[in-house]
Structure 1
Amino acid sequence: MNTSIWIVIVVIAIIVGMVLGFFMARRSMETYLKKNPPISEDMMRSMMTSMGQKPSQKKLNQLMSQMKNQQNK
């Protein structure tokens, strides 16, 4: 085969690999964040305590549900 044809094939393969790699990495990151949310109740409680608020369980539940709703949108 011609050298120019091989170069075109290699360039196309690199581009396809980059696109597929991007979407696979994006999907794996989304599933990771769904399984391991960035902020937990304990972290929220400590943040509210450090800001001088006394967090009740009801308030923590409301904040966590708001965060989950926002993530689902």
Structure 2
Amino acid sequence: MFYYILVGIIALLAGVALGFFIARKYMMSYLQKNPPINENMLRVMMMQMGQKPSQKKINQMMQAMNKQMK
């Protein structure tokens, strides 16, 4: 009976570890294929809000967003 519990716990821990690494790999590939935001998207959003985006302002916002992501 003790062996069944031990095997169950080991299988559970192996499943959790395997699931974590699979989910991590999936999310990394998803973020590489679909980045959260880029300069063109930022430019379009600013134009929709009625602002005329300069390259300096876009660079500042991208740096702020990248800093916040880290």
| TM-score between the two structures when normalised by the length of structure 1 | 0.69
- Letter in structure 2 aligned against 1:42: N
What's 1:69 paired with? 67
Higher RCO (C-alpha 8 Å, min separation 6): 2
- Flag the 1:31–1:71 CA change in 2: closer, same or farther, 3 A: farther
d(CA) in 2 for partners of 1:47, 1:9: 54
Matched, 1:60 2:61: no
- Letter in structure 2 aligned against 1:54: K
For residue 60 of structure 1, give the secondary structure of its aligned residue in structure 2.
helix
Unmatched 5+ stretches in structure 2 = none
Aligned-pair identity in percent equals: 51
- Letter in structure 2 aligned against 1:70: Q
Structure 1 residues 16-70: Cα deviation after superposition (integer angstroms, max 9, x where no partner) = 3113422x1236525753x453001000000000011110000000000111111
d(CA) in 1 for partners of 2:5, 2:29: 36
Of 24, 27, 33 in structure 2, the residue corresponding to residue 26 of structure 1 is: 24
Unmatched 5+ stretches in structure 1 = none
CA-atom RMSD in angstroms: 2.3
d(CA) in 2 for partners of 1:69, 1:28: 24
- Letter in structure 1 aligned against 2:62: M
| Number of residue pairs matched by the alignment | 68
Matched, 1:38 2:26: no
